[in-house]
Amino acid sequence: MTAPTVKLLIDGQFVESTAHHWREVINPASQEVLARVPLCGADEVDLAVAAAKRAFPAWRATSLAERARVFLRLQALIREHMDTLAATLTGEQGKTLADARGDVFRGLEVVEHACAVGTLQMGEFAENVAGGVDTYAIRQPLGVCAGITPFNFPAMIPLWMFPMACVLGNTFVLKPSEQDPLTPMLLAELAQQAGLPPGVLNVVHGAADAVNAICDHPDIKAISFVGSVGVGRHVYERGTAHGKRVQAMLGAKNHAVFLPDANKEQALNALVGAAFGAAGQRCMATSVAVLVGAAREWIPDIVARAQTLKVNAGHEAGADLGPLINLQARVRVEKLIGQGVEEGAKLELDGRNPQVAGYEQGNFVGPTIFSGVKPEMHIYREEIFGPVLCIVEVDTLAEAIEFVNANPYGNGTAIFTQSGAAARTFQHDVDVGQVGINVPIPVPVPFFSFTGSRGSRLGDLGPYGKEVVRFYTHTKTVTARWFDDAATAGPVNTTIALR
């Protein structure tokens, strides 16, 4: 039986691609071929951009209220189809059903926030800045925007992008990951059902050729990217070289610092969940635990908790973590585990080759823990993107902060303590964009902004919250003076001063 093909969305129509090259969408637990996805080239990107460009004038002129209503309908449809979205996501990406629902829900929160566009797009006004002169600033959409999304959050990250861009009056071209495009296509179908006009949202698929076509296209004004460091730097450099706004959220090596006064049970449960949930394939996963002072004694407790986690296909009852996205990812993670052993780290728990009955061909790696990790080791320097936790031991909070700040990444960090003074010192001194205090994965809610820093981010504006309103709009200032019919003309003024 031939696998179904993944369609494109062009100008409101789901159409078959004419691409010459295709790849298979594979269930990472069973290796079942779910679909075939096209690897589009510049010609199909051109079609999508042309449709978005045609749709822009009318959509821009659509009232804020009507734009908001579309996304009110979309959030209702996402809630209605939550189970279908989660099941599809689990099948193609591998995460557990509970985690898949969380993936969809965190994206849904951004859709809900987009419905507040009437407030978000407000400008500023100052009366009588000079005699009879008023100045005001208005936020206007840019035009055609684009988004390039990763495999690890096939619902959440597309929903970070196109709802905010479109509700602000832009039109959009989405290129989801070619590894799990089925969930984004379901979201696109729901957006059409919600009443998004033809051409406002378009979807193409592909790899390097499609990415480069988006970066190069003269009619695309802004690109939002989330993904790996190498591709993100390429998109940022190539896109900005063509005069585009680009926001690129890149890799991470997230540290959690544990002081001995922390609530031990809560802290260790949080660590194990944040380190191994989604098989470690989160950009905000806690991949390094920094144990301070007497907290070093907690290593056996961490290992014991990790050993209770169940590895299985994501849709199976009781599964705590599913497979990695593909065989290449599994091989890479296993290689890094081997390097950790060779370089002298102590392998406290080895998650290689877990036995998963009925899914012997799955891309599984179980929870893996190293202690005695040093900064020069590959398992510390590289973003493993798998269920591998590195444990580092230091004597003081000051040493812990220095250690975190020495890492080139700045996506997220956390501290676990009962001391308000220690927490305040940490949040003030740590050089990381997103800080959790007794919260392991400090991703902010949508009315704040995702704010990774340093090596985890290129561009100065984040993908949602207030910052993304600035990213997807430009500010126009108007200085106005009105005269009564009876007003008399004064002398010619050759200065620039307003009177």
**Residues whose CB falls within 8 Å of the CB of residue 21, separated by 6 or more in sequence, listed in order:** 38, 39
Phi, psi angle pair for 370, to nearest 5°:
-115, 140
CA distance 444 to 464: 10
Catalytic residue among 145, 215, 283, 390: 283
DSSP SS3 for 180: coil
Has 283 been annotated as catalytic? yes
For residue 12, give the H/E element and its range: none
What secondary structure does DSSP assign to 437-487, as a single string?
Answer: ES-SS-PPPTTS----EETTEESSS-SSSHHHHHHTEEEEEEEEE---TTP
Q: Can you state the angle between helices 208-216 and 42-61, rounded to 10 degrees?
A: 50
Q: Exposed (0-12), middle (13-18) or buried (19+): which is 128, by Cβ within 10 Å?
A: exposed
Instruction: Encode 147-181: b = buried (16+ Cβ within 10 Å), e = exposed.
Output: bbbbbbbbbbbbbbbbbbbbbbbbbbbbbbbbbbb
* Residues 220 and 49: beta-carbon distance below 8 Å: yes
Measured distance between the N- and C-terminal CA atoms of the chain, rounded to whole angstroms: 78
The amino acid present at 392, given as its one-letter code, is: V
DSSP SS3 for 293: helix
* Residues 459 and 436: beta-carbon distance below 8 Å: no
Q: How distant, in Å, are the alpha carbons of 123, 225, 229, 402, 426 from that of 457?
A: 27, 10, 9, 21, 21
Q: How many CA atoms lie within 13 A of 152 on its CB side?
A: 18
* Residues 228 and 250: beta-carbon distance below 8 Å: yes
**Residues whose CB falls within 8 Å of the CB of residue 57, separated by 6 or more in sequence, listed in order:** none
CA 39 to chain CA mean position, Å: 22
Q: How many CB atoms lie within 10 A of CB 390?
A: 25
CA distance 371 to 305: 15
**Residues whose CB falls within 8 Å of the CB of residue 181, separated by 6 or more in sequence, listed in order:** 6, 25, 35, 37, 92, 154, 205
Phi, psi angle pair for 69, to nearest 5°:
-65, -35
CA-nearest of 7, 6, 9 to 35 is 6
Catalytic residues, by residue number, are: 283
